[in-house]
């Protein structure tokens, strides 16, 4: 076998390896953070790491928090309740910042996965935060399945629900864990069934 063929085989094997894909994803994210750090004025905090007590603010004055970092255990439970609050298993609406900029974003449905202390997943915020996944109606994954897009993001199909007035199938992004100030959740949109939630939970735990 030629050297070129051997290298091609090794690259194909690496591409199929979950560990290699995870390492590449983490390296890419770290590279983005380093570029953002380099572009920040001297003495200022990077856009995705606002100092505690000086966080960016959303439309309702809620704190906009950086995405969950690290691999600290996340207690994902299915606990939807008809209590007017955002509970794990429910789809609610909140302001979601763009991944590269805490200061810009849009209002969108999110799936609540868990509640935890703010310090468990980041250096900003205080008290209890919601850990959630963003939803989209863009169709990538097969019904009941998952897929990785061209940017390396992992999407899981969750079907249809009350959160979309047009009844379109939705997907959640499983590799981006949002940290939300409960004060910024403005309305409930529905809930996933237990089986659908368990499918999402399993993918998230695999990626942590």
CB 186 within 8 A of CB 93: yes
Percent of the chain with pLDDT over 70: 74
pLDDT for the residue numbered 5: 58
Residue 191 in any domain: the answer is yes
Tokens of 174: 């499983």
**What is the C-alpha separation between 84 and 122, in angstroms, rounded?**
27
pLDDT for the residue numbered 1: 58
For residue 116, the cross-strand partners are: 129
pLDDT for the residue numbered 6: 57
pLDDT for the residue numbered 3: 55
Q: Which residues of 132-149 are buried (b: 16+ CB within 10 A; e: fewer)?
A: bbbbeeeebbeeeebeee
**Pair 98, 26 in one domain:** no
How many domains are there within the chain?
2
**Pair 121, 183 in one domain:** yes
**What is the C-alpha separation between 148 and 124, in angstroms, rounded?**
29
Residue spans of the chain under pLDDT 70? 1-55
Residue 1 in any domain: the answer is yes
Give the domain range for residue 30: 1-39
Q: How far is CA 15 from the centre of its chain?
A: 23
């Amino acid at each position: 076998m030629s050297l070129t063929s051997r290298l091609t085989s090794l690259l194909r094997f690496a591409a199929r390896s979950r560990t290699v894909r995870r390492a590449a994803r983490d390296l890419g994210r770290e590279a983005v953070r380093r570029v953002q750090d380099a572009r920040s004025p001297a003495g200022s905090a990077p856009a995705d790491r606002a100092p505690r007590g000086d966080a960016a603010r959303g439309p309702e004055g809620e704190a906009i928090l950086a995405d969950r970092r690290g691999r600290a255990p996340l207690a994902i439970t299915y606990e939807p309740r008809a209590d007017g609050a955002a509970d794990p298993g429910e789809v609610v609406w909140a302001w979601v910042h763009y991944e590269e900029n805490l200061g810009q974003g849009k209002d969108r449905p999110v799936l609540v996965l868990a509640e935890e202390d703010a310090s468990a997943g980041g250096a900003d915020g205080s008290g209890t935060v919601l850990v959630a996944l963003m939803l989209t109606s863009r169709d990538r994954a097969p019904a009941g399945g998952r897929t990785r897009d061209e940017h390396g993001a992992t999407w899981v199909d969750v079907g249809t629900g009350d959160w979309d007035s047009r009844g379109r199938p939705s997907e959640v992004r499983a590799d981006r864990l949002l940290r939300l100030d409960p004060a910024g959740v403005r309305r409930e949109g529905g809930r996933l069934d237990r089986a659908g939630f368990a499918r999402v939970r399993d993918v998230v735990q695999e990626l942590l």
